[in-house]
Amino acid sequence: MKGYVFVAIGAWIISLTYGVRFAFGQFLPTIQSEFQLDHQHTTYLASSIYAGTCMALLVAAYLTERFGPRMTVAIAMVFGTLGAAAVGFATTPTGLIVSLSLIGISSGLSMPPLVAGVTVSCACYRDRAVSVINAGTGIGIVAASLTALYFADSWRECFLVFALISILISIAAFFVVPGQTKAVNVNASFKTVIRSPALHQAISSSLLFGIVSAAIWTGGGISLVGLADWNSTGVSLFWIALGVAGLLGAFCGDFISRLDLAEVHSISFVGLGTSALLLAMARHSEMVGLVAASLFGVFYMTGTGLYLIWAARISTDHAPSVVAMLFFMLPVGQIVGSTIYGHLANLFEVDHVLIIFALMSSCYIVIQFFAKIDGDTRSSLQDTRETGAVISSQVISGPERSQ
C-alpha cells in the first residue's frame, strides 16, 4: 500500500515541479506586457529556467547518493516553493530571472531521487511506477492551465497558489519517500561508454531535440497572441491540449519497446517539425493551433521516452549516467533554442521563425537518412523485441523483469 502512495506522491511532485516550470509559457504574454519586454529579453527569462535545470542535473545524482531520496526531494521542494513564491512577488525582470532559476533547479532535482526511491518502495512493479510518475509532467501542464483559466491575468496569485501546494506536497513526501536506497555494484567500464559512437549520436540528437522543442515551449503563447490574436483563455486551451496529448504520449512509451527505435526517433522529429509548422499557420484557424499543441504534446513525450530507452540500450550498467547526460542536453538545447528564437523573432515575423525551426527538424531527419550509421550506433537503435528489455528496470540499473 505504501508503494502506491509513494507513486501518487511522486506523480504529484513531478506534476508540480515540471508543471510550474512549463506553466510559465502560458503566462509569458501577460508578463511580457506588464514588464514591457521584447522577444529577446523574454527568452532570457525562459533560458533561466533551463539553466537552473541544467545546474541541478549536475548534482542531483550525487545528492541522491549522499543524502538519500527523501532529503533530495525535500531540497527540490524547497527550491520550488521559494521560486514560485518569488515569482509572485517579483517586481523587476532580474527578480523574475532569479525566481525562475529556482523553479528550474527544483525540476532538475526532482526526478533522480524519485527514480531511486522506486527501487525501494515499488520493486515488484517498478515499470508501472516509473511510467505513472513520469506522466506527472502532462498532469502538471493540464492542472496549471486550468488554474490559469480561473486566475486569467492574475499570474502572480497563480504562482503563490503553486507555492502553497508545494508546501503541502512537501509535508506528505517527507513521510512517504524512502530515506536511503540500496547500492548497486557496477563493474562495466564507463570509458567504453563515453567513447561509444552511439552515445555521441544520442547526445547530438537530444541537443537538437531540445533546440527544436524550444519553438513551442518558449514561443507557443507568444505565437498565438501575435499570429491569431488569441486571448488568455485561448492560450490556456492551447496548453491544456498540449498537456492532455502529452498523457497519451506517455502511454506511447509502452509501444516504443516493440518498435524500431530508429523509426520512432525520426517520427518524433517529424512530429516536432510538423507541430511548429502548424503553429505558424494558426492565424488561419484556432483549431490548427490546438492540433499543433496536441501533436507537440504526443511527440515530445514520445521523444523523451525514446531517450530513456536509447540510454538503456547504449549501456545497461551505466543507464542512469547516460540518462543524466541526455536529459542534461535537452535543457541545454532548449536554452540555445529559446535564444535563437528570441533573436530571430526580432528580425522576422513569428510565423517565419516557426517555419525555420520546422526546417531545422527536417534537415536533421534528412541527414540521419543519408548518414551511414556504424555498427555500435545501429545496435543501440535495434528493435527491442528480441531482448524483451524493460525501460524502467534498465534505467534504475535493476534486474530485468521475468518474462
Structural domains of the chain, ranges and CATH numbers in brackets: 1-180 (1.20.1250.20), 190-397 (1.20.1250.20)
Other residues' Cβ atoms within 10 Å of the Cβ of residue 61: 17
> What is the pTM for the complete model shown?
0.77
pLDDT at residue number 375: 41
Closest by CA to 29, choosing from 256, 277, 225, 166, is 225
Closest by CA to 118, choosing from 61, 184, 69, is 69
- Rounded-to-integer distance, Cα 231 and Cα 27, Å: 11
pLDDT at residue number 167: 95
Confidence of residue 211 (pLDDT cuts 50, 70, 90): very high
Identify the top-confidence range among 172-176, 230-234, 264-268: 172-176
Q: What's the mean per-residue pLDDT of the chain?
A: 78
Confidence of residue 251 (pLDDT cuts 50, 70, 90): low
**Quick one: 153 exposed, middle or buried, by C-beta within 10 A (0-12, 13-18, 19+)?**
middle
Give me the phi and psi of 177, to 5 degrees please.
-70, 130
**Quick one: 21 exposed, middle or buried, by C-beta within 10 A (0-12, 13-18, 19+)?**
buried
Give percent of the chain above pLDDT 70: 76
CB distance 63 to 148 below 8 Å? no
Least confident of 49-63, 75-89, 183-197: 183-197
Identify the top-confidence range among 162-166, 247-251, 364-368: 162-166
pLDDT at residue number 237: 81
Which 3-state string (H, E, C) describes the chain?
Answer: CHHHHHHHHHHHHHHHHHHHHHHHHHHHHHHHHHHCCCHHHHHHHHHHHHHHHHHHHHHHHHHHHHHCHHHHHHHHHHHHHHHHHHHHHCCCHHHHHHHHHHHHHHHHHHHHHHHHHHHHHCHHHHHHHHHHHHCHHHHHHHHHHHHHHHHCCCHHHHHHHHHHHHHHHHHHHHHHCCCCCCCCCCCCCHHHHHCCHHHHHHHHHHHHHHHHHHHHHCCHHHHHHHHHCCCHHHHHHHHHHHHHHHHHHHHHHHHHCCCCHHHHHHHHHHHHHHHHHHHHCCCCCHHHHHHHHHHHHHHHHHHHHHHHHHHHHHCCCCHHHHHHHHHHHHHHHHHHHHHHHHHHHCCCCHHHHHHHHHHHHHHHHHHHHHCCCCHHHHHHCCCHHHCCCCHHHHHCCCCCCCC
pLDDT tops 70 at residue 106: yes
Q: What are the C-alpha distances in Å from 376 to residues 201, 267, 315, 324?
A: 11, 22, 11, 20
pLDDT tops 70 at residue 173: yes
Q: Which residues contact 67 (CB under 8 A, 6 or more apart)?
A: none
How much is the average pLDDT of 62-90?
90
- Rounded-to-integer distance, Cα 73 and Cα 114, Å: 8
CA geometry: angle 152, 155, 157, nearest 5 deg: 100
- Rounded-to-integer distance, Cα 382 and Cα 353, Å: 35
Count of residues making up the chain:
403
Closest by CA to 137, choosing from 255, 300, 6, is 300
Other residues' Cβ atoms within 10 Å of the Cβ of residue 175: 10
- Rounded-to-integer distance, Cα 304 and Cα 380, Å: 16
Least confident of 81-85, 309-313, 391-395: 391-395
C-alpha cell at 191: 570509458
